[in-house]
Structure 1
Amino acid sequence: MPINRVILIGRLTRDPELRYTPSGVAVTQFTLAVDRPFTNQENKREADFIPIVSWRQLAETCANYLRKGRLTAVEGRLQVRSYDNNEGRRVYVTEVIADNVRFLESPNRESGGSNQHSTGAGNTSRRNDADPFADDGRPIDISDDDLPY
């Protein structure tokens, strides 16, 4: 049985772009910058820039709550599609179709709030009053050995 699941954690490179199809279905696109788990020859981390697409209510929720720079987790499936551009050349696009997006930081950093929104196929939202990972503006120092994958 084939499996196509992707889980990513990264930061938005720009605000999400919300549009509607001609039939009125919401679709949001954004790009997630995901650090690679190793450093390059200059001892710097590189990142991959992954295009994310969300649909319907999830698209509207992402457009309302996500902003450039926010730490976000995305779960979905990898999709490769193609089209012919204006020059008649075939263009291939690889993107993640999100079915669950978790907002890992408070939307208003200055307020010191601790909201954590999770939304997905079940279309749920929740608030955690005691967030142990409340954003204090500093990166979290986690060794690669501490990660379960």
Structure 2
Amino acid sequence: MSVNKVILLGNVGRDPEIRYVEKRPIASFPLATDERPVRMPDGTERPGRTEWHNIIMWDGAAEMAERYIRKGTRMYIEGRLRYRTWEDRNTIKRTVTEIYVDSFELLGSPKSS
């Protein structure tokens, strides 16, 4: 038995990009997760950091993303890791890690300026 499960809680980095493959909608967008700075027992501080995740949603989830998800939206996502490899126009091999969404919840709207 094996498990491929990812749980993320973060903020959308830009409005979803919607495209269609054989009439199936696909939404893609970055999601940022943050680690807070940590003060070590010896007084040193490990700085915080932001990780960016490539999120992919299909079909009904993609349609929801198009309607309701905007830059800054706070989200809870459950999904699976996928790796994709391709060659760019200069024949350089590229690899990307993506999160294919199984379920999600919108936790808050983007803050208005």
TM-score, scaled relative to structure 1? 0.66
Aligned-pair distance for 1:90?
1.0
Aligned-pair distance for 1:93?
0.7
Aligned-pair distance for 1:46?
1.1
Aligned-pair distance for 1:38?
4.2
Contiguous gaps of at least 5 residues in structure 2: none
Which position in structure 2 is the counterpart of 1:32? 31
Q: Give the % identical residues.
A: 32
Question: 2:87 matched to 1:84?
Answer: yes
Q: How many residues align?
A: 108
Aligned to 2:89, the other structure's residue is in SS state coil
- 1:83-132 CA deviation, whole Å, 9 max, x = no partner? 11111111111010001111001x4767xxxxxxxxxxxxxxxxxxxxxx
- Name the amino acid aligned to 1:35: D
CA RMSD of aligned residues (A): 2.1
Higher strand share: 2
Q: CA–CA distance in 1 between the matches of 2:37 and 2:47?
A: 8
- 1:30-69 CA deviation, whole Å, 9 max, x = no partner? 1000012544976642110000000001111011111111
Contiguous gaps of at least 5 residues in structure 1: 111-149
TM-score, scaled relative to structure 2? 0.86
- For 1:3-82, what aligned pairs fall within 5 Å after superposition? 3-21=3-21, 23-39=22-38, 44-82=47-85
Q: Note if contact 1:77-1:96 (Cα within 8 Å) is conserved in structure 2.
A: yes
